[in-house]
Structure 1
Amino acid sequence: MSEATATKTSIPQQRRLVTEIPGPRSQELHARRQEVVPPGVHSVLPVYIDRAHDSIVVDVDGNHIIDVCGGIGVMTIGHTDESVVAAATEQLGKVTHTLFTMTPYAKYVEVAEYLAKYASSDERYKTLLVNSGSEAVENGVKIARKHTGRPGVAVLENAFHGRTMLTSSMNHKAAPYAAGYGPRAGNIYKAPNSYPLHDGLSGAEAAARTIAFLEKFAGAEDLACLVFEPIQGEGGFIVPADGYLPALQDWCRANGIVFIADEVQAGIARSGTMFSFEQFGIQPDIILTAKGIAGGLPLAGITGRAEIMDKSQPGGLGGTFGGNPVACAAAVAVFESIERDALLLEAKRIETSFTEGLKALQAKHPAIAEVRGRGAMLAFELTKPGTTEADADLVARVIDFAAKQGVLLLATGVYNQAIRLLPSLKITDELIADVLSVLDEALTAA
């Protein structure tokens, strides 16, 4: 029996607790960790994981926990997917590294072909592979500046783009990502976004507000790019009003501004389409991917129109580990799994099952102000009843209660006002029902 098969058969897809959460071995490891790992590397839940498969993670104490976060959207096709493990293992035995910009290899090209295939059906797109979402954003901005010769970068309220100097400067909130870490990058303009629950604006109205802000405070002629998340991730899983993104795209095209979709969290099948932008009637100039693209291995992509990507001179793009052959082999297996196992349809199934259950909870618990999201990228916002005021304390209590019951959840939103659901596309309806029952108990208790 292979290791992957053994892992699958030894981890039934059921929640099971054998100790308190966190258990004694996790507590022991956490004490050791505090001696050698700085507190800035924070963990939401100090439970130490030993093994995992599909939607269940098993900690060092033997507790079987339902993972509804998936490494913050990374494990889209499930933990230790057999095809990903097999592809990475085979590649490990062949070549682990040469550096693509020195001596290239086929898997990098194959990943670029998949991304071009899904980026557009009738235009030519090219891809640069790097290591992380932050690096993808950095390179997207760099390429846009090279193409336009302009310095300015526009982003939207509630945005999250990373933790590097540039990307943390692009984030909506400074704490904890930029506060105290020195000067921030300049030429960044943060414009109002569409947030239907709170602004009450139509897509056209919200877009007019965004455009008016940028024209007044940035100047369209100085903007290299507008970087946006079609569905915002850390900002609260915010889905913009209909017509908002198409209006922004039209304005960018009219003013020579590169339209960049940050699909790091929403892309690679999570939303029910390969890229979430497909659901809004737009076609970005550059598409940024990471997280779910390689089944848990570090990989990210910048996929852009050929005429934009080709502006960079030889040697101007790349990096030592970008597009590592093992990560590329895993990514090819991810794309093959999405197509072979009809995972886009599974994302729709998950959306239906979770949304119906969350709507039922909303009818029972008035603190749930809104249920939103697409596919397997869903959230519900908690407010003080009768208001739109964020209730971050209630969010924290619900997450803490669920964790102690063996359900791993995360907060989201600038004010931690919502709870996010990022399950594997292979999560079963039985596990979804179990998660919903724990959420009901948590909301009642809190």
Structure 2
Amino acid sequence: MAVSAWEPGVFLTKAKGAKIWLNGKPHLDFACGPGVANVGYNHPEILETVGRVLGKNETGYGGNMILNKYEVALAEELCRLTPGKFPKKVFFSNSGGEAVEAAMLACMKRRPERRGMVSFLGDFHGRLGFCRNATTSRAMHFERMPWGIEKTFFLAFPAENPETRLKQDFLGAISTPVSYMKYVENVIGPFINDINFAIFELIQGEGGISVAQKETMRALVDYLRKNNVWVIIDEVQSGLARTGKMWASDIFEIEPDILTVAKALSGGVIPIGATIMREELSFTEPGGHCNTFGGGPLACAVGLKVLEIIRKENLAEKAETKGRLLHEYLWRNYSTNGRGLMRRITFYDSEMKKSVIANARKLGLFLTGAGERSVRLMPALTISENEIKQAVEIIKSSTPA
């Protein structure tokens, strides 16, 4: 069976609120996909929206070729809610990886002569990138098309609380904004005129739920802006109230040129990605970038409902409050870090991490790893205080003495 599941034989049989059922057994889910179910699994208003749109026969094909009312409304809301008062455009796709690819392509098409990029060590921005090299069906697909990044510069992530000892030792020498920027200028300064864009996670997901130092991050963005380098912030995991703010960018007071979002915009029921960019970076010619199901009526209707639920149920504020509660329950016994309900516990080594994940599963708590030694804590933002307490007790019971 050609399926990429990590655990063949384990099946999802039900999902509701902050819980999933695996082979019929309920588990509190502290991974959420990771971060797909911000509004909880199978929220009744999401299910009503799906039924209503399907019942009205509104789900005909459109892709990025034909607009629909839900697509336009969702684009308007995303432009309004994302940081920055400048004019914006939105490109819809089907995943976080596609949203990031669209962001990179938008920058490269505007300035193809600058073929370098910057990112952080430990960032995760998806798994796409090879398909375009094999596409020559029509001239528009490759004419004036950038054929790839010639040089990628990776910077050390300026973590406020590095996950590993090696990172702690290295970052100790560049722990202030001034020292970090001297390091940056040494690494990319000689090549700055060749760099087209930078793409960053402000809170690394797969890299260990590491939070960047705010003032250092702002200094880096200022430096890039002064050198005419566009800044893409990847909010695929951190966006949509997960961190206690609508966007992690709000915490850092950064207005990205492009912001990417996906995962939680789906309501946990239908894939969607969105790339929100400065108007001058948008794809101007019809077909300049396209995908089959991007901007589909059902996905965009669900996305609109997700934004409405986040607002009506005050999920950003609840994520902040519940995140502090989770931290209070854990900090005396564990090394923990994060923002809102995007948090981690860091263990002594990777073997202890694996042991805790396995033990917790037996007791009804679904956890996944992040980084080298950490377990991510990313439940639904609708989780109750009692469910948080229950999860903490399972973690304690699952930790080797």
Q: What TM-score comes out, normalization by structure 1 length?
A: 0.80
User: Which of 328, 338, 359 in structure 1 is aligned with 2:310?
Assistant: 338
1:186 Cα offset (Å): 4.2
In structure 2, the residue matched to 1:248 is: 220
1:124 Cα offset (Å): 1.7
RMSD: 1.8
CA distance in 1, matches of 2:64, 2:19: 38
In structure 1, the residue matched to 2:156 is: 192
CA distance in 1, matches of 2:105, 2:87: 20
Matched, 1:165 2:157: no
1:51 Cα offset (Å): 1.1
Matched, 1:396 2:354: yes
- What SS does the aligned partner of 2:5 have? coil
In structure 1, the residue matched to 2:180 is: 206
CA distance in 2, matches of 1:164, 1:331: 23
Q: How does 1:97-246 map to 2 (within 5 A)?
A: 97-120=60-83, 122-149=85-112, 150-165=114-129, 186-196=150-160, 197=162, 198=168, 199-200=171-172, 201-216=175-190, 219-246=191-218
In structure 2, relative to structure 1, the CA distance for the partners of 1:164 and 1:122 (3 Å cut) is closer
Q: How does 1:201-350 map to 2 (within 5 A)?
A: 201-216=175-190, 219-296=191-268, 297-309=270-282, 312-350=284-322
**Is the 1:166–1:185 Cα contact (8 Å) retained in structure 2?**
no
Matched, 1:53 2:12: no
1:121 Cα offset (Å): 5.4
CA distance in 1, matches of 2:253, 2:178: 14
1:215 Cα offset (Å): 2.0
CA distance in 1, matches of 2:74, 2:272: 10
1:381 Cα offset (Å): 1.5
Q: After TM superposition, which residue ranges in structure 1, 4 or more long, deviate above 4 angstroms?
A: none
CA distance in 2, matches of 1:203, 1:440: 37
**Is the 1:211–1:248 Cα contact (8 Å) retained in structure 2?**
no
User: What is the CA deviation profile of residues 237-277 of structure 1, one whole-angstrom value per residue up to 9, with x for unaligned ones?
Assistant: 11112312111111111111110000010011111111111
CA distance in 2, matches of 1:222, 1:306: 23
1:46 Cα offset (Å): 5.1
CA distance in 1, matches of 2:47, 2:195: 43
List runs of 5+ in structure 1 lacking aligned partners: 1-35, 168-183, 363-369, 384-390
In structure 2, relative to structure 1, the CA distance for the partners of 1:331 and 1:185 (3 Å cut) is same
In structure 2, the residue matched to 1:377 is: 342
**Is the 2:50–2:302 Cα contact (8 Å) retained in structure 1?**
yes
- What SS does the aligned partner of 2:50 have? helix
User: Which of 48, 53, 61 in structure 2 is aligned with 1:86?
Assistant: 48
User: What is the CA deviation profile of residues 98-133 of structure 1, one whole-angstrom value per residue up to 9, with x for unaligned ones?
Assistant: 214333101111111111111135222211000111
- Percent identity between matched residues is 28
CA distance in 2, matches of 1:132, 1:273: 22
AA of the residue aligned to 1:136: A
**Is the 2:318–2:381 Cα contact (8 Å) retained in structure 1?**
yes
In structure 1, the residue matched to 2:28 is: 66
CA distance in 2, matches of 1:333, 1:155: 33
AA of the residue aligned to 1:229: E
- What SS does the aligned partner of 2:291 have? coil
User: What is the CA deviation profile of residues 405-428 of structure 1, one whole-angstrom value per residue up to 9, with x for unaligned ones?
Assistant: 110001101x2x111011001101
CA distance in 2, matches of 1:404, 1:86: 34
1:206 Cα offset (Å): 2.6
In structure 2, the residue matched to 1:423 is: 379
1:185 Cα offset (Å): 6.4
CA distance in 2, matches of 1:403, 1:204: 45
- What SS does the aligned partner of 2:205 have? coil
**Is the 1:55–1:78 Cα contact (8 Å) retained in structure 2?**
yes
User: What is the CA deviation profile of residues 150-182 of structure 1, one whole-angstrom value per residue up to 9, with x for unaligned ones?
Assistant: 211211111111112369xxxxxxxxxxxxxxx
In structure 2, the residue matched to 1:21 is: none
CA distance in 2, matches of 1:381, 1:83: 36
**Is the 1:49–1:59 Cα contact (8 Å) retained in structure 2?**
yes
**Is the 2:231–2:258 Cα contact (8 Å) retained in structure 1?**
yes
In structure 2, relative to structure 1, the CA distance for the partners of 1:103 and 1:410 (3 Å cut) is same
1:313 Cα offset (Å): 2.3
Matched, 1:434 2:397: no
In structure 2, relative to structure 1, the CA distance for the partners of 1:100 and 1:45 (3 Å cut) is closer
AA of the residue aligned to 2:25: N
AA of the residue aligned to 2:272: L
**Is the 1:192–1:209 Cα contact (8 Å) retained in structure 2?**
no
In structure 2, the residue matched to 1:175 is: none
AA of the residue aligned to 1:66: L
In structure 2, relative to structure 1, the CA distance for the partners of 1:154 and 1:166 (3 Å cut) is farther
AA of the residue aligned to 2:97: S
Q: What TM-score comes out, normalization by structure 2 length?
A: 0.88
